[in-house]
Structure 1
């Protein structure tokens, strides 16, 4: 008896020691007489019945889950005892008694609606596979666009209430640009993604600030081989398409991913421009119709290797390459002012390599390198209606080398406190050139050569606490040193996040964030480039970074209904806007810093369904915009506007293998600087058929069916008069085919007992 009591005491001490290091749920299972029961199955579930883990009690009746979730539900089962359910919010359950069962066990079936969103450590977590089942999506990027509050426009994702959104891969920074990361995600199958985490205020260990989506890829768990091949056909004036192949091999120790994709791009754009250009007291009516054609092949390659040194230490290495050889385009402009032809040819190459080490004691080390090379040539000829002419040949290029290294350390403290700190260093070098030849006429043929070096060093510290009922808060600050040429600046960026678990069905999340956005390297050059004989693009040396400050609050009901209020203020906001020059007939596009851009409003996300055949998602946004620039050429502005956006997505299931979609989106009139943006409406429809035991599928999607998804814009401001319409043939039809294979899992072989053999 004494030995037995010592075992019980020792067991409880071990459970207590483990609870100090990490958040756990532990307890003891006993019979009606208080004696411990071993071999009792204990299943840990979330409050919505989602499975988390399962253990079996030891000889002292003790069980322990590490890590755990709060609040939780325990399901206890034993053949000789009646099953029992136990709910709680504390780490210690104490003794849980079971009643002896003399009757035959009945079948137990637990049903529950799968939650749309899970909240962990202040992050809104979504299972993309659930969204993929409910919607017609073909890759990870399209699945992200289906998240509540997320919209996609021309390959860019935005989050309602946030002026900018950063995509993060596996919780760590990358030197790839947003468009390059978009390409990677469009070539990544949805089933390779474990989850997507949406944050209005990203924690500092992500090494990004402000709103972010963290895409977490699945890790190796067992022996398996799987793959996917797919192909697209698309018609948007021209016919084009792409083909992709993905393969994945895993063992408990390693995983290998290979992806290759190729696309034949063909694009056609038309822009109708009407300009009443005031020059020296005289109005010049200028009407242009610009027709832009582009075509070329694009290739993408990704390889990733993941190796588990042991149960807690892991190394990840990945490579991503993008190659666009001989991408050609031309722009032909006609009208009452000019006839011009611009021919372009571009060659782009990108290589990205990343290395990451994850330890078992909270340390993560990593590095990322991107090499980007772009060479281009242009030949332009303009014949004006007054008989004058200008022409030139131009060759240019850009070479960027960018490095990132980082180190992060986290500690689990007593009472569920966590401490984190880390640092990162970025270095980028951008070398650009632009050289004119065979220049005739009035051309600003200024050759440019630049060599920009950018240094960014960050150091952060964070503190967080998880309470027993699921409430969580974190606070952090990041100090940053930034240097670009002669521009040097120290800055501090505070961040805070608070999640209040009022009840399992009622949650409130509040986030405070600050961020800085840097202009791209090409915009900071002094070069002038030409779109045609009237429109020019001017670089802006000395363009300043934008500083953003945001506050948001999200109420979550039943883990699927979301209501968010937000406020965001951005100093030195920059964007490119057109201006009718006051000294000559030229339309100048130039990136400029504004005094500020401010917006605040409310967005609601409401999903609903009818049985298993119909699912819908309704979103509504109301927002007040305030934009001010006191140094905008010679026409300063201070403009305000209410903007309303509403969209409804509908999915209809016909049997198990056929589904349809009908989606609509409306946006009221908006502003951007001196621009007035007219209302727009986008209607799209889709259908999907799954066959071959759900290994293959064919889908068809029609986008912007009414050709009203791209707005017309106009300027009526302080003598500026400009109309632009690029709504020509924006509707598209895409047919997608995918076939998944593999899923092989190595069978476990029965081991031969050789314990009594002499080997």
Structure 2
């Protein structure tokens, strides 16, 4: 705590010094917008504020994606606004006076005319930085990244600053698990493997950027204790028809390939859009588990080795339409889905030794699994702009159906060193599952004044999951039901939610305060045994944020939020899944949701250097644990509630531009996690450790059509719950080449060049001794070709936040 207090003291002293240096007129600003001759917004135009007295440019900025700009906190004087954009004549405004009586000036709309002296053709490239900070968001720009070429969304996510994935695809942000994943603003969860299957389907060529939001407002779902990761997909800009065709191939230990097409047709009354992507990946996975089964009647040493070959065959698609009834009202329909196949052939060998080291027995297990995952989701939506003051209403009605069928075959052979006859055991698991989700939601925005906005809304959702676990044993040449392992589990859940959120803008300060309430009723019914678990609870989730601009180069912010993470549906299911007889996974129907309170203090320098200090307290911490099963001499993985987790984190982001052709970015997170539980399987747990993660990238623009990117990340040793995770690191490389007036794009990517990305964990649970080593198929070379056709300035298809995605995200594939 002492280093943290010292950092905070230094932080506040620096802020005090900056406050004393202010000379601008509070609340002063000059606003405007820039359009071209066709009255279309001009983005990334250079806008300068010129002081008339000495012709000095006191401030310079670029227009945003809507062509708008705003100079704030301006010293009193007389100014002119200068606008420059390649291919257009320079614009110089009339004189504008800023003083105490007239602190705000609205510049009339600026229209740029073509430069009569311009070349016949000018290609302008605006290269976004690899990592940037905007307000409360940390943004990873994926669209132009050559390192990400040919990768899946899951692989891209793993490279995001402060984000890490463990062996089971649990996502952690700043060392804390429980992250809410959003796609174009549509909320969804990622807990364990909940969304891993969906994100493996999504290719990097579909992604524009990844936004990381640590403390969201009450308008967002209360799910996700660590914050939100929003994956923004690519968009288009004008009327007409366009599309992109992508073809990729790669190789690691096995071949990889992907292809896809995106199309969009838009006119003044109708927009029709859709895409299809196919992904065929093969890979290898190797794992060893060494453990000591000590302090029991059957004390022994277990050495386990598992080698597997995995295959994914994924098809995902989207089709939708928006009808523009008039300039203020739009209705739309959307259908999304996937049809996926997964297979794995695994060979496991276990050597069992006495405590003195002599071989006692062995187990050879061959496991084959085949799974099919299918999903269809439907959304009907309506958006209305009620008046010119900014009142808006959106309504969404949703339904999703997820079904899966898995078949797992276990062939076990037991042999004894004493020379006795070996024993063969053949088992089979059939696991059909179906999940139905219904949801409706409405969001309303009402400006109470020019700088005062009210947001309110509600959401209703209903979920039913039906899981039939059929365990069979092959005996006497017949498959016979195993009643001790077969289960039928049905889970029902309903959530009723409402929120109110207000935003107020003062001269140099923005304040947002909100509260969300959610009433949850659930019932888990283990039909086979008659065991029923029911819950009924009401929660309130307040949030607040204050952002203050000290001057043009310095700003600070303070945020607070309370959030919840509910168990994934399958984590509540008490079924057993076997690696072999001595290692298995089991659900926990008694899991409670966890609650998190987060405070964060942030500072931004020169609008690009960022630092933040955060404190988080989580109760009833849901986490994966590895525990001993003395009766079976086994090790099993399950989810359990720990009493408490305290987290402290310092994050620093520093982008640096060396020249026009060379820039870099460094993102560093230092955090301390402290887990406590008075009784975890009969043991007291008290684990804590300080760790850090660093992500660094170097970007080189060789010419207007060629760029190179080199990036690396390192995570130090850390403790999470009952796991001690060893350091992880990797280096990635990418090259991007544009051809045919940028209609053709060729990307070469090499991930994990030195093949160092692996998982090593050991026990941080008292009295349990094990080590797990995993090597992933992480080093891969990928070549991706994309071709754009049609009108490349097509307007974007309307983004919408559907009402069922947060529930659909808790589907575990």
Question: Shorter chain as normaliser: what TM range?
Answer: 0.7 to 0.9
Is contact 1:89–1:468 with CA below 8 Å preserved after alignment? no
1:358 Cα deviation from its structure 2 partner: 1.5
Give 2:349's match in structure 1, choosing from 294, 319, 334.
334
Which of 672, 688, 699 is the matching residue for 1:640? 688
1:334-354 CA-partner distances (Å, limit 9, x unpaired): 232310111111121011122
The 1-side partners of 2:152 and 2:285 are apart by: 27
Check the 8 A contact 2:460/2:497 in 1, yes or no.
Answer: yes
Q: Residue 218 of structure 2 corresponds to which residue in structure 1?
A: 204
1:466 to 1:403, Cα distance in 2 relative to 1, 3 A = same
Tell me the CA shift for residue 243 of structure 1: 0.9
Name the residue aligned to 1:466. Answer: 505
Q: Is the 8 A contact 1:279 1:583 kept in 2?
A: no
The separation in 2 between residues aligned to 1:156 and 1:608, in whole angstroms, is 31
Deviation of 1:182 after TM superposition, in Å, equals: 2.9
The answer to whether residue 163 in structure 2 is matched with residue 124 in structure 1 is no
Gaps of 5+ in 2: 1-27, 33-40, 49-58, 84-88, 109-115, 119-124, 352-361, 387-391, 417-421, 524-533, 795-813
Q: Deviations over 1:548-582 (max 9, x none)?
A: 11111221112211111111121111222222322
1:50 aligns with 2:62: yes
Q: 1:602 to 1:254 in 2, by over 3 A?
A: same
Q: 1:476 to 1:429 in 2, by over 3 A?
A: same
Assess if the C-alpha contact under 8 Å between 1:175 and 1:402 holds in 2.
Answer: no
Q: What is the aligned partner in structure 1 of residue 181 from structure 2?
A: 167
Query: Residue 466 of structure 2 aligns to a residue in which SS?
Result: strand
Partner Cα separation in structure 2 for residue 402 and residue 460 of structure 1: 22
What is the correspondence of 1:21-40 to structure 2 with a 5 Å cutoff? none
Select between 654-663 and 484-493 the one with higher mean Cα deviation.
654-663
Cα distance, 1:377 vs. partner?
Answer: 1.4
For the Cα contact (< 8 Å) 2:206–2:234, is it kept in 1?
Answer: no
Identify the match of residue 81 of structure 2 among 75, 95, 99.
Answer: 75
Is the 8 Å Cα contact of residues 557 and 601 (structure 2) preserved in structure 1? Answer: yes
Q: Distance in 1 between matches of 2:66 and 2:775?
A: 56
Match of 1:490 in 2: 538
The yes-or-no answer on 1:512 pairing with 2:560 is yes
8 Å Cα contact 1:220-1:254 kept in structure 2: no
Checking the alignment, whether the CA contact within 8 Å between 1:172 and 1:207 is kept in structure 2 is: no
1:318 aligns with 2:331: no
Task: Find 1:435's aligned residue among 470, 489, 494.
Answer: 470
Q: Counterpart of 2:613?
A: 565
Structure 1 pair 88/677, CA: closer, same or farther in 2 (3 Å)? farther
Once the two structures are TM-superposed, the CA of residue 474 in structure 1 deviates from its matched residue by 0.6
1:333 is displaced (CA, Å) by 0.7
Separation in 2, partners of 1:54, 1:284 = 68
Query: Is 1:475 aligned to 2:531, yes or no?
Result: no
Task: Map 1:365-444 onto structure 2 (within 5 A).
Answer: 365-386=395-416, 387-414=422-449, 416-439=451-474
Structure 1: distance between partners of 2:310 and 2:31: 63
Contact 1:715–1:723, Cα closer than 8 Å, also in 2: yes
Q: Which is bigger in relative contact order (C-alpha 8 A, separation at least 6)?
A: 2
What do you get for the CA RMSD once the two structures are aligned? 3.9
Q: Could you tell me how far apart the structure 2 residues matched to 1:54 and 1:685 are?
A: 33
On the 8 A contact 1:548/1:569 being kept in 2, the answer is yes
SS of 1:182 mapped into structure 2: helix
Normalising by the residue count of structure 1, what TM-score does the alignment of the two structures yield? 0.81
Match of 1:544, SS state, is coil
1:589-643 superposed Cα distances (whole Å, 9 cap, x missing partner)? 1111111222112011111122122111112121111012223213331111010
TM-score (norm 2): 0.76
Deviation track 1:665-695 (CA, whole Å, cap 9, x = no partner) reads 2221111233221112212222222222222
Tell me how far apart the structure 2 counterparts of residues 315 and 595 of structure 1 sit (CA, whole Å): 47
Tell me which residue corresponds to 1:556: 604
Which residue pairs with 2:801 in the alignment? Answer: none
- Structure 1 residue 711, shift from structure 2 partner: 3.0
Deviations 1:684-710 (A, max 9, x none): 222222222222222222222222222
Aligned to 1:224: 240
1:146, distance to aligned residue in structure 2 (A): 6.7
Contact in 2 for aligned 1:161/1:566 (Cα 8 Å) = no
Alpha-carbon displacement from aligned partner over 1:151-184 (angstroms, at most 9, x marks no partner): 6678776543654332324434469963466357
- Alpha-carbon deviation of 1:726? 0.8
Superposed counterparts of 1:540-551, under 5 Å: 540-551=588-599
Are the aligned partners of 1:166 and 1:178 in contact in 2 as well (CA < 8 Å)? no
Which residue of structure 1 aligns with residue 741 of structure 2? 693
**Relative to structure 1, is the Cα distance of residues 44 and 458 closer, same or farther in structure 2, using a 3 angstrom cutoff?**
farther
Supply the distance in 2 between the matched residues of 1:240 and 1:53 (Cα, whole angstroms): 36
Mapped contact 2:146–2:748 kept (Cα < 8 A): no
1:356 aligned to 356, 362, 381, which one?
A: 381
Structure 1: which 5+ runs fail to align? 1-22, 28-40, 56-64, 98-104, 747-759
Q: Distance in 1 between matches of 2:170 and 2:739?
A: 32
Q: Measure how far apart 1:370 and its partner are.
A: 1.6
In the other structure, the counterpart of 1:657 is 705
- Does the CA-based 8 Å contact 1:565-1:602 persist in structure 2? yes
Residues 250-329 of structure 1: pairs in structure 2 closer than 5 A: 250-278=266-294, 280-281=296-297, 283-325=299-341, 327-329=342-344
Q: 1:745 to 1:601 in 2, by over 3 A?
A: closer
Measured against aligned partners, the alpha-carbon deviations of 1:408-455 in whole angstroms (never above 9, x if no partner) come to 111111251111211101111000011122356998842111211001
Using the TM superposition, give the Cα deviation of residue 135 of structure 1 relative to its aligned residue in structure 2, in angstroms.
6.7
Instruction: Please state how far the C-alpha of 1:270 moved relative to its aligned partner.
Output: 0.9
Q: Could you tell me which of 178, 182, 199 is aligned with 2:195?
A: 178
> In the TM superposition, what are the counterparts of 1:94-113 in structure 2 within 5 Å?
none
The separation in 2 between residues aligned to 1:394 and 1:595, in whole angstroms, is 34
Larger Rg computed on CA atoms: 1
| Match of residue 752 from structure 1 | none
| Inter-CA distance 113–371: structure 2 relative to 1 (3 Å threshold) | closer
- 1:592 and 2:631 aligned: no
Which of 199, 203, 206 does residue 189 from structure 1 map onto?
206
Change (3 A) 1:138 1:528: closer
The 2-side partners of 1:716 and 1:92 are apart by: 60
- Partner secondary structure for residue 625 of structure 2: strand
> Quick check: 211-220 or 456-465, which moved more?
211-220
Aligned equivalents of 2:302, 2:584: Cα separation in 1: 15
- Spell out, residue by residue over 1:203-243, the C-alpha distance to the aligned partner (whole angstroms, 9 max, x if none): 22233455224456677763222211112222221112111
Comparing 244-253 with 339-348, greater Cα deviation is found at: 244-253
Residue deviations 1:270-326 (CA, integer Å, cap 9, x gap): 11111221263553121111112222421111112223222222223221110024x
- Cα 1:246–1:164 shift into 2, 3 Å: same
